[in-house]
Structure 1
Amino acid sequence: MDGILLINKTAGMTSHDVVNQVRRLLHTKKVGHCGTLDPDATGVLVLCIGKATKALQFLMSEEKEYIATLSLGSSTDTYDSSGTVIETKSFNGIENIETILQSFVGQQKQLPPMYSAIKVNGKKLYEYARKGETVEVEARDITIHEIELLKQDNHILTLRVKCSKGTYIRSLCVDIARTFGYPGHMAHLVRNQSGHFRLSDCVTLDDVEKGQYRLLSLEEAFKHFQHYIIEDENIVIHGKKMKSDIDHQVVVVNKEGKVLAVYGPDGQGYLKSIRGLF
């Protein structure tokens, strides 16, 4: 059983909880996910099954799209609604909404939340936070491609955000709220899209349990990547380099379109094997 499974994660589960359930339901240990979703968040969770786990690192590097609900007037220690309220302020309206939102578009540095699974000195940040310990956290490079205000209902803003991998929408919500002059937190989050995989293509764990699902092939998963067609498959099977002036990663396929590997430039006029997928 090899392929890509698109799950619509429900709230209250960690991404690893979903992986464990799928391992049980599909009777295989080889299951991995392409990018963590917070327990309170819902939406697209891309799982690789069997031999498709070899493709994890490539499907994880795509941009994401979220529908985020920002609540102005109260902040929490976790930056979301599951945390303890640490500051409040009466809501008296906001101005220059579009200007402020658009100021967050582009490349920038972002500090991740203390309640996150990022590791510092071998320990996850939330382990430090739960013990009340402080640790220095480095800001990370992210890109916000688009922000759109979908709805405003008093102190609640609903935003569509398209961003790079590694972006914490919780941190973005807190930063936006601060710019508006309020404490704030992320009240709800839906991952609407991960790379080219959309929420409308996903199934639930209940669907999987009932057998109502379909695994995508590697050919379907990589159809939006640039393809490099090769005549002699043995070149890829033996991991040999190929002379080329291509300066980025490509998916190598045979004449029938079967995905064989991902290759990338070696800086010396050749493409080298990064990962075999056969």
Structure 2
Amino acid sequence: MNLEGFAVIDKPTGLTSYSLLGKISRKLGPRVKAGHAGTLDSFASGVLVCLFGRYTRMSDFFMATTKSYEALMVFGSETATLDPEGHEIARAPVPTLYDLQSALPSFLGGIMQVPPVYSALHVGGERAYERVRKGQEVVLPPRSVTIHRLELKSFEDGKALVSVDCSKGTYIRSLARDIALECGSRGHLLALRRTASGPFHLAGAVGLEEFDATRIRSMDPEVATGLGLECRTLEGTEAVAFSNGLPMGRMPSFAAAPDSTSVAVFDTAGEFLGIASPKPAPSIAWRYAFVLERPH
């Protein structure tokens, strides 16, 4: 089966993203290539964008968007994994509502964040969590992330429900840990639900049981814009030239020097052809980031 496109799945708790992808792939057949754009931990649920066929090569564009979460934090206890599945490693007093409200503003905007040691980040060619499970010490460097919005929805019995909009690469488990430390406490996540990934929201997601091949979508201008891409329509010979991978400098539509934004390319019928991106500096030319259609 030659399926290409993407689907927005509402991942349930209790499944890793990899396991969910396996169940989806079995519904589509053994020859369908599948991937996902942004891992959700086993205890977490919500929006998971799955990619099929050649769309798997566009994962960077689907992952580079803002993510939104509803996170339930518990104070007074920190676990090794910073989630409900790990063993307790530290305890501290539960903060007051005033302490929590005073701490949250310091996490808005650009911050440096240390990822959890129980993460899939590579350290010396091996995933961090694999090293930790072998008893090896893992020290991960802080990374720059951005918290666009951080709203306290409720705080009761040492548990806080917060709503977060953040950049790619943000670990909400680390955010819970750091907020608790800023309050003079310790903390971890009890539950996490991704409510949006870029232009994709829970309202448009489908459950695993309801998923089938008819739920697979193609790139269109609305989706491309939601992913932060500009849209460009090519006519006639230019569309054929783009699909065949001919030098972009020969195409009038790409004669001008690019800015910093990648472009989703469509033909006059609205069919998605691919993505063009600026070449790395100091070049001032375009390059093919991805080409989908190649007419026979």
* Count of residues in Structure 1 that have an aligned counterpart in Structure 2: 276
Distance 2:21 2:206 in 1: 14
Equivalent runs, 1:26-105 vs 2, <5 Å: 26-27=28-29, 28-91=31-94, 93-105=96-108
Q: CA deviation at 1:257?
A: 2.2
Question: What secondary structure is seen at the aligned counterpart in 2 of 1:152?
Answer: strand
Q: 1:251 aligns with which of 264, 269, 274?
A: 264
5+ unaligned residues in a row in structure 1: which ranges?
none
TM-score by length of 2: 0.88
Query: Which consecutive aligned stretches of 4+ in structure 1 deviate over 6 angstroms post-superposition?
Result: none
Q: Are 1:237 and 2:239 an aligned pair?
A: no
Superimposed CA distance per residue, residues 155-214 of structure 1 (whole angstroms, 9 cap, x where no aligned partner) = 111001100111100000000000011011111100000111001111111112xx4962
1:39-59 C-alpha deviation (Å, 9 max, x unpaired)? 110000100112322322211
Deviates more, 1:113-122 or 1:91-100: 91-100
Distance of aligned partners of 1:92 and 1:217 in 2 relative to their CA distance in 1, 3 Å threshold? closer
| Whole-angstrom CA distance in 2 between matches of 1:186 and 1:244 | 49
What amino acid is the match of 2:26?
R
Code of the residue aligned with 2:91 in structure 1: it is T
Question: Aligned partner of 2:163: which letter?
Answer: R
Per-residue deviation, 1:64: 0.3
1:64–1:165: 8 Å Cα contact kept in structure 2? yes
Amino acid at match of 1:236: F
Q: Distance in 2 between matches of 1:212 and 1:72?
A: 43
2:292 is the alignment partner of 1:277: yes
TM-superposed CA distance for 1:223, in Å, is 4.6
Unaligned runs of 5+ in 2: 249-253
CA separation in 2, counterparts of 1:117 and 1:99? 32
CA drift of 1:265 comes to: 1.8
Distance 1:212 1:253, change over 3 A: closer
Q: 1:229 to 1:212 in 2, by over 3 A?
A: closer
* Alignment partners' CA distance in 2, 1:45 and 1:7: 5
Q: Is the 8 A contact 1:147 1:160 kept in 2?
A: yes
Offset at residue 120 of structure 1 (A): 0.5
- Please provide the CA RMSD for this pair: 1.7
2:251 match: none
